[in-house]
Amino acid sequence: MSDIKSILASLEQAPVVQQEHAERWLGGVMKYHREQAEWHAKRLKGIGGSEMGAVMRGLYGVKESGFGTLQRVVQQKLMMRLPEFQTVHMKRGTVLEPLARLAFMYRYRGIQDQAAMDATATAPKRPGYEWLVGNPDDIIQLNGKRYTTDYKVPNSFSDEIEYDYRVQLHHYALLSRMAGVKIDGLILAKLDLSAELAQSLVDRVPSMSGAQLHDVAKTIARMDMPGMRVVGLGVDMERSMQVDILDAGATAWNDYVIQGVVPPKPAEQLIELDDQRMLQVGALQQQYAMAKAGINYLSQQVTDIESSLNDTLKGVDTAGKSLPLSLVKIAPPRVKSEVLVQEARALGALPADLSSGEPTYSVTALLEEIKRLKGDPDAAHLKADPEPESGKAKAYLQKLGVDLEALATGNFGLRLSTAKADKEIGGVFERSAAEKFGSWLDENSLAAALDDDDQLEAIDEDFDLEVVSGPLHEVFAAAESGEPNQTPSTPKYTSASMR
């Protein structure tokens, strides 16, 4: 404990860390991450490779998805947020990383460059860039060249080079460059295992001998087939990205961490759809209402339409905004109970903060006490923490001013409107469904009109738009403007496989 406190006291940001946050952080780390407490304390000294992607996305407005956010990284450095709790995906990557390294070496006949690894790890920090920290997974020699290599064990394999991984590799290459180690290229090595095999190896690898681990690695390298292979993906080394890393890291560290300030969240954009998408949403709303009316016959249709609506509106802020049809209401994704509890714990919530119940007896602790005989059954250490409650976690987070909407996941919630006028329309749909059954949806769907602009004027003959509440008729009136008002997302990066 004394070593950890010494590390914390030496942090550059220590003067701006609030005492309450420091105490909660230390207590939480010792409770939930005791075995790695010192390692987590050292991570507070700067920004690591796995964190830099979030920093870059936050400061430069990169639309790529990734791990974490700029705000979370700064909160962690200021001890406002505990280290991430280990997930099944994190455990898989940690346990199987040695296997991924061995399989890669056997498959591509690479050799670890230990001298380069040592030089990178022990080199003195450049003045002004002390915040640039991290430990590369590997530096290898391959075909006479030196590569910074990072190993991943994804849940499902793809040959995409994710943005955060590109940043991570460039971050580690920068560390080597500042240490005087020349890096010729970057490699992202992905261990592609079937779900069943991956889980089996996660359970078995910790107890394997070195020889057994090598045998498994050789088998994977030799099989080299989907579900049992390791794939090396070459990543282009970009000087511009390394410059961006230095600029973004310095900004995040000097302007936020050292100042004790959490950066504001980016302003949320108002819902904006071009006319074509507005028409599409309105058509999907109408289809949903009709399918609900004929639920017994059209249950599969309802499922498909829900999926289409969520795909169409993904990433759009709908809170408090008017949609084409009031007939179908859309609610934003909800915050799951387990997410509330996890977020509250990450921000230092104690068991008493998350539950109104009393601590219960721990069977394991009682058995140990019985073995020792004459134990005190009322001893506090024999009681387990009460089960966290999402309501308590929600109250805790609200007290801290956490934006709960940012924790919401999943799809939009759909329901039929209960307004009198809309219910009357539902009755019309029900009678129509009873009469037409199979052909009913196609005959009454607005979606078909989207494929033929000439049909827009004739829609009133087949379906009375005035009956349907909502501004859809206004959209049809402006249908020919065709001016998009939504910023397109950044294209994904791909890279050629070394295979």
Instruction: Dump pLDDT digits (tens) for 199-234.
Output: 999 999 999 999 999 999 999 999 999 999 999 999
Query: What integer is the mean pLDDT of 42-47?
Result: 97
Q: Where are the alpha helices (DSSP H) in 206-251?
A: 210-223, 239-251
CA 454-457-462 angle, to 5 degrees, is 105
Which one is predicted more confidently, 443 or 403?
403
Lowest mean pLDDT among 155-159, 160-164, 169-173, 293-297: 293-297
Sorted by sequence, the CB contacts under 8 Å of residue 366 that are 6+ apart come out as 377, 382
Q: What pLDDT is attached to residue 268?
A: 57
Give percent of the chain above pLDDT 90. Answer: 53
CA 50-54-56 angle, to 5 degrees, is 110
Q: What pLDDT is attached to residue 99?
A: 98
Q: Can you tell me the distance from the alpha carbon of 204 to that of 220, in angstroms, rounded to the nearest whole number?
A: 15
Q: What pLDDT is attached to residue 490?
A: 37
Q: Are strands 185-193 and 145-152 parallel, antiparallel or unpaired?
A: parallel
Residue 105 pLDDT more than 50? yes
Q: What pLDDT is attached to residue 439?
A: 67
CA–CA distances in Å: residue 78 to residues 34, 71, 232, 260, 263? 19, 11, 37, 7, 12
By C-alpha distance, which of 395, 367, 274 is closest to 324? 274
- Residue ranges with strand state E in 237-366: 328-331, 360-361
Which one is predicted more confidently, 323 or 22?
22
Q: What pLDDT is attached to residue 66?
A: 84
Rounded to a whole number of angstroms, the distance between the first and last alpha carbons of the chain is 48
Q: Are strands 228-235 and 145-152 parallel, antiparallel or unpaired?
A: unpaired
Q: Are strands 228-235 and 185-193 parallel, antiparallel or unpaired?
A: antiparallel
Highest mean pLDDT among 117-131, 264-278, 389-403, 441-455: 117-131
Q: Indicate the pTM of the whole model.
A: 0.62
Q: What pLDDT is attached to residue 497?
A: 42
* pLDDT band for position 137 (cuts 50, 70, 90): very high
Q: Are 283 and 450 in contact (CB under 8 A)?
A: yes
Query: What integer is the mean pLDDT of 328-344?
Result: 86
Q: Can you tell me the distance from the alpha carbon of 123 to that of 237, in angstroms, rounded to the nearest whole number?
A: 22
Residue 458 pLDDT more than 60? no
Q: Can you tell me the distance from the alpha carbon of 446 to that of 429, in angstroms, rounded to the nearest whole number?
A: 14
Q: What pLDDT is attached to residue 441?
A: 62
Q: What pLDDT is attached to residue 294?
A: 73
Query: What integer is the mean pLDDT of 109-127?
Result: 96
Lowest mean pLDDT among 306-310, 373-377, 434-438: 434-438
Average pLDDT of the chain, as a whole number: 84
Question: What does the DSSP 8-state code read for residue 485?
Answer: -
Lowest mean pLDDT among 301-315, 337-351, 369-383: 369-383
Q: What pLDDT is attached to residue 286?
A: 86
Residue 45 pLDDT more than 80? yes
Q: What pLDDT is attached to residue 446?
A: 62
Q: Are 50 and 67 in contact (CB under 8 A)?
A: yes
* pLDDT band for position 274 (cuts 50, 70, 90): confident
Query: What integer is the mean pLDDT of 19-41?
Result: 94
Q: What pLDDT is attached to residue 23?
A: 95
Which one is predicted more confidently, 171 or 359?
171
SS3 28: helix
Q: What pLDDT is attached to residue 327?
A: 81
Give percent of the chain above pLDDT 70. Answer: 83
Query: What integer is the mean pLDDT of 259-273?
Result: 77
Q: Can you tell me the distance from the alpha carbon of 239 to that of 369, in angstroms, rounded to the nearest whole number?
A: 61
Q: What pLDDT is attached to residue 297?
A: 60
CB atoms within 10 A of CB 481: 11
Lowest mean pLDDT among 34-38, 291-295, 417-421: 291-295
Which one is predicted more confidently, 468 or 89?
89
Q: What pLDDT is attached to residue 11?
A: 97
Residue 404 pLDDT more than 60? yes
* pLDDT band for position 457 (cuts 50, 70, 90): low
Residue type, 317: D
* pLDDT band for position 191 (cuts 50, 70, 90): very high
